[in-house]
Homo-oligomer: A and B are copies of this chain.
Amino acid sequence: MSDSKHTVKQDQDVIKQHNKQLVLDVIRTRRPISRSEISKITEMSATSVGRIVGELAEEGLVRETSLTSTGVGRKAVMLDIEPGGRYTIGIDIQKKRIVIGLMDFSEQLITAKELKHTSLESSSEETIVLMAGTVLGLLEERKIPASKVAGIGIGTPGVIDYEGGVVQFSSTLGWREVPLAGKIEESTGIRTVIDNDLKVKILGEYLFGAAKGSDKTVLINVGTGIGSSLIINGDIFRGGSNSAGELGHMTINPHGNLCECGKRGCLQTYIDESALLTEARKVRGIGEIGELFAAVRANEPWAVEIIDRAALHIAVTINNIVCLYNPDTVILSGDLVEEFGEILEWLDRHCSVVVWEPFRDSFQVIASQLHGRSIVLGAGALALHQVTHN
């Protein structure tokens, strides 16, 4: 008997917590909004909505705004998020730079700091100290107490145990089994979540950028790293061990180029930045990828040939991903797309040949809209979600 009583009690707490979360989510997504509209949407009683809004206001998360006419002459008090009620930190770790962003409760990016660093020259310990110090400095500078920070979210390339907060393996960073979330939490006192950078990136595009309004979206990243991620019905698709979407080592041709992984014909040997540079350097001693793009723009045949072959293989990849995932939107991101936007036209031409006909009109291809900021914004959103829903 006491057992079942305990269960009922617990259930009530769970329901109360759920209802509070629901009201906060409704305000966040439909602000400004009146109490009666919240009642209508949530099907909760006016009394309950009133109590919950009171609690949220007391916690500094929600505020009343101006009176607004509701159409029939009556005026209602509208509710909005209190932007300064909570903050989140989003961190984007890449090979050569780290970007740390501060978002307010309305998920606006207030400020971002870019740290030049080279993961290959500094250990994971040094990198962690650098990040934690920068976060604390940023909060100090803005006079934001750590208690007002809902969480830190980090997007990082590699195989990530996002439940355990561990970077299991990242060839980009040269890290193995780094307990990143725990270390950052220890140094800052702020709850921290981590995930694979492309999973965080698609979350950013889904919430704030190119994928708004689509919920069957694939993101394909082509640059120094090759990868993909998928959002389906609002959830990040993870596969068995959070490693779904590892595009770079899909086999394009079993008798093709040898890859650094030891097998032949991996996609990344056809389209990633180092593959394009290796090809280009057979013809001309160029330094950076930008020089290749310049040569294409100057219509030099060897450069056009290199980019055209890459575009063909990206189009093939789009076909293969569309066949397996059947998305309605494909977002392209990464340096190749962001620094050489003309590639979209080339892709369009190749796709009209290599995409299987029944799928040809089933999806749109668009470029990332948030560019350098999608991981920071997505990581912040991940932190906010994890904290407010757990």
Asked if A320 CB lies within 8 Å of chain B CBs, one says yes
Complex: how many Å from CA A159 to CA B353?
21
> Which chain A residues numbered 324 to 372 have a C-beta less than 8 Å away from chain B?
324-328, 353-354, 356-359, 362-363
Asked if A301 CB lies within 8 Å of chain B CBs, one says no
Contact assessment for B363 and A250 in the assembled complex, using a CB-CB cutoff below 8 Å: no
Cβ contacts A242-253/B at 8 Å (1 or 0 each): 111111011111
Contact assessment for A249 and B323 in the assembled complex, using a CB-CB cutoff below 8 Å: yes
Complex: how many Å from CA A245 to CA B165?
31
Contact assessment for A324 and B262 in the assembled complex, using a CB-CB cutoff below 8 Å: no
Among the 9-residue stretches A18-26, A122-130, A311-319, the one with 4 or more Cβ atoms under 8 Å from chain B is A311-319
Q: Specify the chain B residue showing the minimal Cβ separation from A11.
A: B43
Complex: how many Å from CA A247 to CA B363?
17
- Please tell me which one of the listed residues B232, B246, B320, B359 contacts residue A326 in the complex, with CB atoms under 8 A apart: B246
Contact assessment for A246 and B356 in the assembled complex, using a CB-CB cutoff below 8 Å: yes
- Please tell me which one of the listed residues B251, B262, B325, B359 contacts residue A320 in the complex, with CB atoms under 8 A apart: B251
Contact assessment for B228 and A356 in the assembled complex, using a CB-CB cutoff below 8 Å: no
Asked if A169 CB lies within 8 Å of chain B CBs, one says yes
Contact assessment for B246 and A353 in the assembled complex, using a CB-CB cutoff below 8 Å: no
- Please tell me which one of the listed residues B241, B252, B264, B354 contacts residue A263 in the complex, with CB atoms under 8 A apart: B354
Q: Specify the chain B residue showing the minimal Cβ separation from A315.
A: B254
Complex: how many Å from CA A43 to CA B4?
7
Complex: how many Å from CA A243 to CA B356?
12
- Please tell me which one of the listed residues B232, B261, B363 contacts residue A357 in the complex, with CB atoms under 8 A apart: B261
Contact assessment for B326 and A324 in the assembled complex, using a CB-CB cutoff below 8 Å: no
Complex: how many Å from CA A172 to CA B359?
18
> Which chain A residues numbered 220 to 279 have a C-beta less than 8 Å away from chain B?
228, 232, 237-247, 249-254, 261-264, 266
Contact assessment for A356 and B263 in the assembled complex, using a CB-CB cutoff below 8 Å: yes
Residues of B near A251 (CB, < 8 A) are: 316, 319-320, 354
Q: Specify the chain B residue showing the minimal Cβ separation from A313.
A: B254
Asked if A216 CB lies within 8 Å of chain B CBs, one says yes
Residue in A45, A243, A261, A353 whose Cβ sees the most chain B Cβ within 10 Å? A243
A251-B319, A254-B316, A357-B261 as given contacts; A216 in contact with B243, CB under 8 Å: no
Complex: how many Å from CA A354 to CA B251?
8
Q: Give the Cβ gap from A105 to chain B, nearest Cβ, in Å.
A: 31
Asked if A7 CB lies within 8 Å of chain B CBs, one says yes
Complex: how many Å from CA A327 to CA B246?
12
Contact assessment for A247 and B324 in the assembled complex, using a CB-CB cutoff below 8 Å: yes
Asked if A321 CB lies within 8 Å of chain B CBs, one says yes
10 interchain residue pairs of minimum CB distance: A239-B326, A249-B356, A216-B240, A244-B326, A240-B328, A243-B326, A246-B323, A251-B316, A250-B320, A240-B326
Complex: how many Å from CA A238 to CA B215?
13
Cβ contacts A15-43/B at 8 Å (1 or 0 each): 00000000000000000000000000001
Q: Give the Cβ gap from A18 to chain B, nearest Cβ, in Å.
A: 14
Residue in A254, A319, A327, A354 whose Cβ sees the most chain B Cβ within 10 Å? A254
A253-B253, A312-B254 as given contacts; A323 in contact with B263, CB under 8 Å: no
Contact assessment for A358 and B326 in the assembled complex, using a CB-CB cutoff below 8 Å: no
